[in-house]
Structure 1
Amino acid sequence: MTQALRDGGVRVTRQREALLRVLTEAADHPDAAELHRRAQGIDDTVSLATVYRTLSVLEREGVVQRHSFESGGARFEVADRSHHDHIVDVDTGAIIEFHNDRIEELQRQIAAEMGYEIVHHRMELYCRKK
């Protein structure tokens, strides 16, 4: 991620290093405000503007993925994780990652039957616990 910032023409400051640490350690899908709060726990000089600028560069460089779940604003995750889909709990807002080979194969079959090859896809299931 440090190199992606440099490639994007952004200096790697102490504040940005704190944000990068938060991003790499995140096991969830935090929004910019939550990333800001966590980064300030490492370096209290991190500004929200720095978070937004850094996320923008990281997204443009393909290092971070932005998700726009129906439950609210943009959420972020590091893009180096293996492919997965998401369940959004509509009651709690929790976002759960999952992977299912049968679903992946079915999607490939459907695309092929229609004369296509999947280049990229995202699946989000909005669910409620029984």
Structure 2
Amino acid sequence: MAASLRKAGIRVTKQRIALMQVLAEADDHPDAFELHERARAVEPSVSLATVYRTLSTLEEGGVVHRHSFEGGGARFETTHEEHHDHILDIDSGAVIEFQSDKIEELQEAIARELGYEVVHHRLELYCRKIP
């Protein structure tokens, strides 16, 4: 965790290490409030203001991704994971990660047909479970 902070040129503090630990262990996409609660369990001195400031710094440093899914506030995940896309269950609010080579190939083909090269993309599918 400290290495990720140093690599991004971010000063290492126990609060930032606690936040990075929580982000690294998260199997969901927590918002700032959830991260604050989890980080306080690791390091009680973490304030909500510190979480917000640190998340901005981590995002600028390329250490975390900020997701602004429709109908909700910003959610976060580390950038250490391989590229993936998201399905958002509009009934439960669950965020499901998935990876599809077919989708990746199709996006590349469409961009090429239009004379472009994909530099970055995000795919979010807003879905409802089939009964």
Distance 2:62 2:16 in 1: 17
Counterpart in the other structure of 1:21: 21
Amino acid at match of 1:107: Q
Residue 40 of structure 1: aligned partner: 40
User: Is contact 2:8–2:62 with CA below 8 Å preserved after alignment?
Assistant: no
Q: CA deviation at 1:11?
A: 3.5
Identity across matched positions, percent: 66
Q: Find the aligned partners of 2:30 and 2:46 in 1 and give their Cα distance.
A: 16
TM-score, scaled to structure 1: 0.92
Q: Secondary structure of 1:92's match? A: coil
Equivalent residues in 2 for 1:1-130, closer than 5 Å: 1-3=1-3, 5-6=5-6, 10-130=10-130
* Post-superposition CA distance 1:49-101 (Å, at most 9, x none): 11111111110011100000003000000011111000000011100000111
Letter in 1 for 2:82: S
The letter of the residue matching 1:90 is I
Whether the aligned pair in 2 keeps the contact of 1:5 and 1:54 (CA below 8 Å) is no
Q: Distance in 2 between matches of 1:68 and 1:80?
A: 19
Instruction: For residue 76 of structure 1, give the secondary structure of its aligned residue in structure 2.
Output: strand
Separation in 2, partners of 1:3, 1:35: 20
Contact map agreement 1:87 1:124 (CA 8 A) in 2: yes
Measured in 2, the distance between the counterparts of 1:32 and 1:68 equals 12
Q: Over aligned residues, Cα RMSD in angstroms?
A: 1.6
- Gap regions ≥5 residues in structure 1: none
Relative to the length of structure 2, the TM-score reads 0.92
Kindly indicate whether the alpha-carbon contact (under 8 Å) linking 1:87 and 1:127 is maintained by their aligned counterparts in 2: yes
Residue range with higher mean Cα deviation, 3-12 or 59-68: 3-12
Q: 1:106, 1:115 → 2: CA distance? A: 14
Aligned length: 130
